[in-house]
Amino acid sequence: MQLKKKAVIFDLDGVICFTDKFHYQAWKVLADRLGIYFDETINNRLRGVSRMASLEIILERSAMKYTQEEKAAFTEEKNDIYRELLKKMSPADLTDEVKDTLNELRRRGYKLSIGSSSKNTKFILGQIGLGDFFDAVADGTDIVRSKPDPEVFLKSAEKIGIAPDQCVVVEDAKAGIQAAKAGGMTALALFGDARDCGFEDYNLRSFDDLLNVL
């Protein structure tokens, strides 16, 4: 399979790097404080969705009703915990496979950008040594609708000046694959529930399999 496209848009978490364990630990601290049962199975439902939508999923098991102001405070509390955990990340969290593949795609002339719902995207990229690498970054600070809405990918394509139909999206979440397709882009599934979800155009065997597809 050889796709003749001009740009590659990457989801961040679960594709470029992995911060799932930090998300889980931060939500777990909050849930425990609120007396709400939370485990890794529930955590899997949070993949690719916004911070507030994640909180709403967690609160499904709560007998309490909270105001929007309280919910906003909860998400900030979780994010403060999460950001402290993220400080443990370093360039060592970027694999040679990812680094070498990104460099080869750049050498081949592709525009490379990030499309992530996370508001911590730029901080994470800085921690792993990719702060200035991508041509553009669209993240949770740029959008009002999270995946499966295509807003973040359309914003990413707009920032690099490439038409959506000339963009390939690499995702590890089903919601991200759906967002890519809704935006008129080619969707490549890598890991997670993106693989064989029924909406993807192609299942990648590994990150460097991109070099065989593009």
Residues 136-187 pLDDT 10s: 999 999 999 989 999 999 999 999 999 999 999 999 999 999 999 999 999 9
In angstroms, the CA 102 to CA 122 distance is 17
The CATH number of 7-17+90-213 is 3.40.50.1000
Give CA–CA dist 52/57, Å, rounded: 9
Token digits of residue 54 = 């994640």
- Residue extent(s) of CATH 3.40.50.1000 domains in the chain: 7-17+90-213
On the CB side of 189, how many CA atoms lie within 13 Å of its CA?
19
pLDDT reading at 83 higher than 80? yes
Using DSSP, state whether 154 is helix, strand or coil.
Answer: helix
- Tell me, what DSSP letter sits at residue 35? T
**Taking the chain, what is the end-to-end CA distance rounded to the nearest angstrom?**
8
Whether residue 153 contacts residue 7, with contact meaning beta carbons closer than 8 Å, is answered with no
Q: Is pLDDT of 190 > 90?
A: yes
CA distance 58 to 48: 15
Percentage of the chain modeled with pLDDT above 70: 99
Portions of the chain given CATH number 1.10.150.240: 20-86
Whether the upstream peptide bond of residue 148 has omega within 30° of 0, thus cis, is: yes
Report, as residue numbers or ranges, the catalytic residues: 11, 13
Question: Strands (DSSP E) along 49-183, which ranges?
Answer: 111-115, 136-138, 167-171
For residue 1, name the pLDDT band (cuts at 50, 70, 90).
Answer: low
- Per DSSP, the chain holds a count of helices (H) and strands (E) of 9, 6
Pick the CATH number of 20-86 from 2.40.30.10, 1.10.150.240, 1.10.287.1080, 3.10.20.440: 1.10.150.240
DSSP H helices, 35-182, are: 40-44, 51-59, 68-86, 96-107, 121-127, 151-160, 174-182
